[in-house]
Amino acid sequence: MVGRRRGPTNPRTVFMADYQPENIERKWQEFWRHERLFAAAVDPTRPKFYCLDMFPYPSGEGLHVGHPEGYTATDILSRYKRARGFNVLHPMGWDAFGLPAEQYAIKTNTHPRIVTQQNVERFRRQLQALGFSYDWDRQINTTDPAYYRWTQWIFLKLYHAWFDESAQKARPIGELIADFAAGRRLVPGGQRWADLAPAEQRRVLANFRLAYEQEAPVNWCPVLGTVLANEEVIDGKSEVGGFPVERRRMRQWMLRITAYAERLLNDLDALQWPESLKMMQRNWIGRSEGAQVDFQLAGGGKITVFTTRPDTLFGATYMVLAPEHPLVDLARADHVVPSAWPAATRPEWKADSPAPGPRHAVAAYQRQVAARTERQRQEDTGKTGVFTGAYAVNPVNHEAIPIFVSDYVLMGYGTGAIMAVPAHDGRDFQFARRFKLPIRRVVSASSTNPQAGELPWEADGFSVASPGIEGLATAVAKSRICAWLEQHGHGGRRINYKIHDWLFSRQRYWGEPFPLVHLEDATTVALVEEQLPLELPPLEDFKPTGAMTPPLDRAATWRNVAVRLEGDPANPQARVVPPGTPGAVPARREANTMPQWAGSCWYYLRFLDPHNDRAFCDPKTERYWMTHPDGVDLYIGGVEHAVLHLLYARFWHKVLFDWGLVSSAEPFHKLVNQGLILGEDDRKMSKSRGNVVNPDAVIAQYGADSLRLFEMFMGPLEQVKPWSTKGVEGVHRFLQRLWRNLAADDPKARVVWLNHGTWFTNRGRLDVGPARAAEAAAAALRRPLHRTIRKVTQDIEKLSFNTAISAMMEFNNLLTKSDWIPSDMARTLLRLLEPFAPHIAEELYQKLSAVPGERAASGPGPAGPPASLTRMPWPDYDEALCVDEVLEIPVQINGKLSGRVKVAAEAPPEQVLQAALADAQVQARLANRPLRKHVYIPGRMLNLVV
């Protein structure tokens, strides 16, 4: 307890109510909400400002001090922009579907719906205790059927779209059907569209949709009982909980984010995002230019590889397939592994133990690799592998080269197969040495010496020993080879991306159901839009099954439905009808649910028009809030969403953009990452370390204003910084001092105002002496006040809140020392403080205005209760009043500080020079040395060069 209780002997207690945040904060929070002061509405007469927080996941832990950091920053901006006449949209909601809440539900054996309700309620209470100026009427919850109805609706937009490569945009699936029907586009497989049965047509279309089902190796997490997206797996462990993840083949729903790779990459450039974050997205997308090359197999078929160095094709001396590559899957008929070792097989190619044949050796190697975790594979970069017994033909020189299996080639990148050029790739070089494979130089570092550069030479150079591209620089050689490959049908130029399609289904209960049904012919059909939302059935046993089947599998009555197909048989929509309805066919609902990220992919759009039940958002409303600049004006949140939410949301936004449903190509124009707040011990806050700071406790002891202020005062917003209880006390003291200075109901208050030429305090008019002192105080404070307004204004615009606060502290320190405090200046300071510490600012402002006679002095305001400070305009400053009348100019001699001279602010340079030369101290240091030149920076400093 700091300064809250005064001893009974302190006489001031009798007269003056101390600053006690608990007495005022709740009151103003309720007032602001009751008066709906922060409600936003479309208003074309005012410029808009959309100020958004990453809405929280209401975990069971409650709020931690990291949450209010970003939220306070956006709140300051919101309150400030309102004062500057902007129409501010500042909403808050709940991202409440997903694994953590469900895990917590399982742990506590409570239904996720209940857990979520409790968590939301707790979070809302905690956030409201901080006095944020959210428009609470727009509160949304991703688990609300009225919300996820539109999540499902947008999913259908993905489902009903295909990506037109040539137009580089998504188009309605109906246009693809039209293209197929009219023969403008060839049907894969070569048949005529009209010759295909509807079910076959549906299967063809399924391969084009942005949402599609695919059997593929996926990240299966046995502990969580679900598959995870690549973005949710970090170092072979689940992002949620850190549980081991294994590769399994499963049939899963995917979203075709790879189609948007190029646009997701290019559109980053124009965004005002932290460079590091853009870099993370670029890395994740992982674009690389190169070529695709087909190597014919001796026994028919081919191996396709991706290479960034097609110019080294003549140096390929062997090939490598990933252990998971289909061509070495012995269960498949088309695998390449012969039953016996070829004659030329070197003993070391057969792996460590002499295996009876290549099939045994390959299988053994595959087992060995499968036994190692992803982690072990990445850490151990020693090269292992085994010869498959098969050979492929290099298209450029018709050489037969051996094919190996090795885990240094990853199935997940490129084609899962490489051509190995040991002379020009470090990894191939290592492998070739170990397996005694030829190393053939085809690039030289020099155009004159064909042997220049130590092997492996990975940098660019000049081609050697490569007929057709001999002597060419690498860049030229690459394009020559690509052209040749294209010409001869062996491949060609190709851009490869690291990013994979987004694995979008989860074997969990607590997520959005897919609005899809499966028919008996094994095709999938979307529900009609009118039947959305497809609500999650109230399943009692919501726990993961442990097997790979989702919990919704158990909701038999929910799953098994009768549907009537409507529309084009190639792309019908299913309407669920009562069983027995004529024309109805049996169907099973999709039992997987959507991942946690689905709801957050578009929530910023729902905030624009949260109660609309005819559209996810009204188009006019969308245009008003999302243009000029394109997207959200300011978005603040943690960097942990760099390649999750921020990438997924951009993807969905672009799909909506292609459908013409949103007006901007990007959702978030400007983005700032707040820095992590560490514990007082400089380490990351965690329960196990016992260094977690609970915002509720801080508010109870110091008040919300102190918490807000301290979080902003700690240091730059983006920076990682440690918590400090002493620091909270520091800003709390500042507020106490401010209270003592400005609480005008104190009989000892020094607040004064001028009314018709007479100075008053709350005890009446001042005598001549004090009046003169008040006059002097006002004059002395005028310039510092204008400087403070300027500093705070500029710093808020820069999001430099720590320095803005220090400027207000400085001004308050002046007030503390001043005999008298003019009330209009107090008012201005409170206006500046309001975005940061709104409760105390509003309270003091109202107190000031409640003193009889005072308000008359502050202008011709209407009678009656004073308006909320939050409605007062932002003060202007006078640039001329930001500089002192008399300046003290530092004088340097040869760049070294040697004295100071006082000159008038407007003094011409010569006068400053003369004043400096006349200064005794300067003269002494000059010691009669002749002045060679001088540099004068007006108002800043004078440098004398001798």
> Taking CB under 7 A as the criterion, which residues in 447-466 touch RNA?
none
Binds RNA by CB under 7 A, chosen from 168, 266, 276, 923: 276
With respect to RNA, which residue has the nearer C-beta, 343 or 371?
A: 371
* Contact status: 641 vs RNA (CB under 7 A): no
Of the pair 553, 729, the CB lying nearest RNA is at 729
Instruction: Give me the least distance between CB of 498 and RNA, in Å please.
Output: 4
Instruction: Figure out which of the listed residues 816, 904, 905, 909 binds RNA, where binding follows CB under 7 A.
Output: 816
- Quote the distance between the C-alpha of residue 741 and its chain's center: 43
Query: What are the φ and ψ backbone dihedral angles of 760, each rounded to 5 degrees?
Result: -125, 155
Alpha-carbon distance of 526 to 534, in angstroms, equals 11
Window 318-347: residues binding RNA (CB under 7 A): 322
CB 328 within 8 A of CB 321: yes
C-alpha span between 50 and 74 (Å, rounded): 10
What is the closest distance, in whole angstroms, from the C-beta atom of residue 454 to RNA in the complex?
16
Q: What is the smallest separation between the CB atom of 897 and RNA, expressed in angstroms?
A: 5
Establish if 370 lies at the interface with RNA (CB under 7 A).
Answer: no
Specify the residue, 158 or 821, whose C-beta has the smaller distance to RNA: 821
With CB under 7 A as the contact rule, the residue among 449, 719, 755, 911 that binds RNA is 719
In the region spanning residues 381 to 420, those forming contacts with RNA, defined by CB under 7 A, are: 381-383, 407-416, 418
Neighbours of 498 (CB within 10 A): 16
Q: Which of 33, 247, 518, 733 binds RNA (CB under 7 A)?
A: 733
**Of residues 357 and 939, the one with the C-beta less far from RNA:** 939
Asked whether the beta carbons of 28 and 611 are under 8 A apart, the reply is no
Which among 252, 255, 257 has a CA at the least distance from the CA of 285?
257
Find the binder of RNA among 165, 195, 215, 275 (CB under 7 A): 275
Q: In angstroms, rounded to a whole number, what is the distance separating the alpha carbons of residues 141 and 591?
A: 22
Does position 566 interact with RNA (CB under 7 A)? The reply is no
CB of 834 to RNA, least distance (A): 18
Rounded CA separation 433/417 (Å):
20
Task: Assess 923 for contact with RNA (CB under 7 A).
Answer: no
Torsion of CA 924, 928, 933, 938, to 10 degrees: 30
Of 42, 639, 856, 872, the residue at the interface with RNA (CB under 7 A) is 639
The most distant pair of C-alpha atoms in the chain lies apart, rounded to whole Å, by: 117
- In eight-state DSSP terms, residue 437 is -
Nearest approach in angstroms of CB 899 to RNA is 9
Which residue among 110, 296, 691, 813 contacts RNA (CB under 7 A)? 813
Of positions 345, 531, 736, 858, contacts RNA by CB under 7 A: 736
Residue whose CB is less far from RNA, 188 or 438: 438
User: Contact between 181 and RNA (CB under 7 A)?
Assistant: no
φ, ψ for residue 731 (rounded to 5)?
Answer: -70, -30
892 is an interface residue for RNA by CB under 7 A:
yes
Query: Where are the alpha helices (H) located in 491-614, listed in sequence order?
Result: 556-559, 597-600, 603-606
From candidates 161, 528, 792, 809, binder to RNA by CB under 7 A: 809
Residue 575 binds RNA (CB under 7 A):
no
Does position 439 interact with RNA (CB under 7 A)? The reply is: no
Contacting range for RNA; rule: CB under 7 A; set: 41-49, 111-119, 379-387, 873-881: 379-387
- Tell me which long-range contacts 577-586 makes (C-beta under 8 A, separation of at least 24): 585/519, 585/520, 586/520, 586/560, 586/561, 586/562
Q: Is 638 in the site for RNA (CB under 7 A)?
A: no
**Of the candidate residues 549, 715, 775, 917, the single one contacting RNA (CB under 7 A):** 715
Among residues 525 and 887, whose Cβ is nearest to RNA? 887
Q: Distance between CA 930 and CA 909 in Å, rounded?
A: 19
Distance CA(78)–CA(40), nearest Å, equals 11
Beta strands 287-297; 386-393: pairing state: antiparallel
Task: Give the shortest CB-236-to-RNA separation in angstroms.
Answer: 11
Q: Tell me the per-residue interface mask from 760 to 799 with RNA, x by CB under 7 A, - otherwise.
A: ----------------------------------------
Minimum CB separation of residue 604 from RNA in Å reads 24
Pick out residues in 302-321 that bind RNA (CB under 7 A). Answer: 306-309
**Segment interacting with RNA (CB under 7 A) among 59-67, 204-212, 521-529, 803-811:** 803-811
Give the bridge partners for 304, in sequence order.
294
| Bridge partners, residue 247, by sequence | 219
Of the pair 187, 815, the CB lying nearest RNA is at 815
Choose which of 139, 288, 691, 858 interacts with RNA (CB under 7 A): 288
By beta-carbon proximity to RNA, the closer residue of 247 and 588 is 247
Minimum Å gap between C-beta 27 and RNA is 24
Integer angstrom CA distances of residue 426 from 401, 433, 457: 19, 11, 8
Q: How many amino acids of this chain bind RNA (CB under 7 A)?
A: 87
Stretch that binds RNA, among 625-633, 767-775, 809-817, 907-915 (CB under 7 A): 809-817
Chain mean position to CA 157:
24
Measuring CA to CA, which residue among 33, 284, 80, 1 is closest to residue 795?
A: 80
- Interface with RNA in residues 212-241 (CB under 7 A): 234
The nearer residue to RNA, 10 or 446, going by C-beta atoms, is 10
Alpha-carbon distance of 585 to 297, in angstroms, equals 47
Closer to RNA by CB, 403 or 552: give it: 403
- Show contacts with RNA in window 3-22 (CB under 7 A): 3, 6-7, 9-10
Minimum distance, C-beta of residue 210 to RNA, in the bound complex (Å): 23
Nearest in space to 577 (alpha carbons), one of 648, 517, 650: 517
Length of the chain: 946
Q: Which is nearer to RNA, 427 or 588 (CB)?
A: 427
- Shortest Cβ 719–RNA spacing (Å): 5
CB nearer RNA, residue 617 or residue 799: 799
Q: For residue 905, state whether it binds RNA (rule: CB under 7 A).
A: no
With 0-12 / 13-18 / 19 or more C-beta atoms within 10 angstroms meaning exposed / middle / buried, residue 917 is: middle
For 762-765, the CB contacts below 8 A with 24+ separation are 762/851, 762/852, 762/854
Quick one: which segment of 121-129, 605-613, 811-819, 860-868 binds RNA (CB under 7 A)? 811-819
DSSP E strand stretches across 195-328: 211-221, 226-228, 233-234, 237-238, 246-255, 287-297, 302-307, 318-321
Estimate to the nearest angstrom the gap between the alpha carbon of 647 and the chain centroid. 7
Nearer to RNA, 88 or 942 (CB): 942
8 A C-beta contact, residue 171 and residue 161: yes
Residue 611 vs 726, nearer CB to RNA:
726
Is residue 272 a contact point for RNA (CB under 7 A)?
A: no
3-class SS string, 51-113: EEECCCCCCCCCCCCHHHHHHHHHHHHHHHHHHCCCEEECCCEECCCCHHHHHHHHHHCCCHH
Least distance in angstroms from the C-beta of 497 to RNA: 9
Whole-angstrom Cα distance, residue 340 to residue 72? Answer: 70
CA angle 717, 719, 722 (to 5 degrees): 100
Q: Which is nearer to RNA, 34 or 940 (CB)?
A: 940
Which is nearer to RNA, 93 or 402 (by Cβ)? 402
Residue 876 to residue 513: CA distance in whole angstroms: 54
Least Cβ distance, residue 165 to RNA (angstroms): 21
What is the footprint of RNA within residues 486-505 (CB under 7 A)?
496, 498
Selected binder of RNA within 244, 567, 716, 770 (CB under 7 A)? 716
